[in-house]
Amino acid sequence: MYIDVVTIFPELFAPMLGVSILKRAQEQGRVEVKVHNLRDYTTDKRRTVDDRPYGGGPGMVMKPEPMFAAVEALETLSHGIRRRADRSECQIVLMAPQGEPLTHALAQELSGLRHLVILCGHYEGVDERIRSQIAHREVSIGDYVLTGGELPALVLIDCVVRLIPGVLGHQDATREESFSNGLLEYPQYTRPATFRGMDVPTVLRSGDHEQVGVWRRLQALARTLTRRPDLLSRDTHGPRASSMLTPPSQEATAVKPWRNAKGSASAGFRPPEVDKGATAVKPWGSTGVSRNG
């Protein structure tokens, strides 16, 4: 796979691309990432990439000319990219807060491309003609405003590249499958069996693989139900998934919302926090106190 990135901060990419799985994937020749400086495609002395918005208002807008020139140069320079011709081979993605949310499914789709071009926006936005005429799609990594598309581009590269066949080792790939089932991860433990008074759940040390499987599935479901119920309504779990949760077994609900584990004496089966009352269930907070209330 070929990945081309167009950015005004090319130096941000090398540190991430130079370590771990991204580094290995490039060394193995499974992906080739090239980072291009948008300013190299300007024509004025000051290498201007932005300008004031028509109609007034605050902030600056990315000019169309450098981005068009950059993408046109990629078309002739790189890998025979065929813009708009075949979207199953090549896609040009603009990282932008108003884009479609990045999901595992989208990452999987993009990991099958031969060529991915990523454009990083900046300032208050990009000229609409960049969106409409260059980008095949716009992708967002979340509902918050960042200073630019570089971190989103790195997030996209990271999650796409690890899905390219052969990039993850066999073991990782098997793990991957069990996490891409739409559920959150079940709790994991390693040695020691007892740490500062906290025990590893007995079932995990029992050697009973079937029971371990059941426990993990229940934990994953309960955790997803507590923290991200939206994931459960989304897809493939079917009626069985929800029936596994009603009535909830102690194991299934012994899932602590994030960041409230302080002072817990045991990491094993315990009366669930979620039983403290419906209004106290705050999957992500620690206090249950509403900021708006």
Which residues here bind ligand JBE, judged by CB under 6 A?
Answer: 95-97, 99, 121, 140-142, 144-146, 148-149, 152
Place of tokens 């705050």: 282
CB of 210 to ligand JBE, least distance (A): 42
CB atoms within 10 A of CB 175: 13
CB of 144 to ligand JBE, least distance (A): 6
Q: Which of 149/257 has CB closer to ligand JBE? A: 149
Report the interhelical angle of 150-161 vs 20-27 (nearest 10°): 60
Is residue 24 exposed (0-12), middle (13-18) or buried (19+ Cβ within 10 Å)? middle
CB of 137 to ligand JBE, least distance (A): 12
CB of 103 to ligand JBE, least distance (A): 13
Q: Which of 139/183 has CB closer to ligand JBE? A: 139
Place of tokens 């029936």: 243
Place of tokens 């807060």: 97
Q: Which of 146/214 has CB closer to ligand JBE? A: 146
CA distances from 203 to 125, 193, 251 (A): 53, 12, 11
Q: Which of 96/221 has CB closer to ligand JBE? A: 96
At residue 267, what are phi and psi to the nearest 5 degrees?
-95, 10
- Asked whether the beta carbons of 3 and 154 are under 8 A apart, the reply is no
Q: Which residue is nearest to ligand JBE (CB)?
A: 152
CB of 45 to ligand JBE, least distance (A): 28
Q: Which of 149/201 has CB closer to ligand JBE? A: 149
The distance in angstroms from the start CA to the end CA of the chain is 50
Q: Which of 18/142 has CB closer to ligand JBE? A: 142
CB of 97 to ligand JBE, least distance (A): 4
The span from the CA of 293 to the CA of 277, in Å, is 18
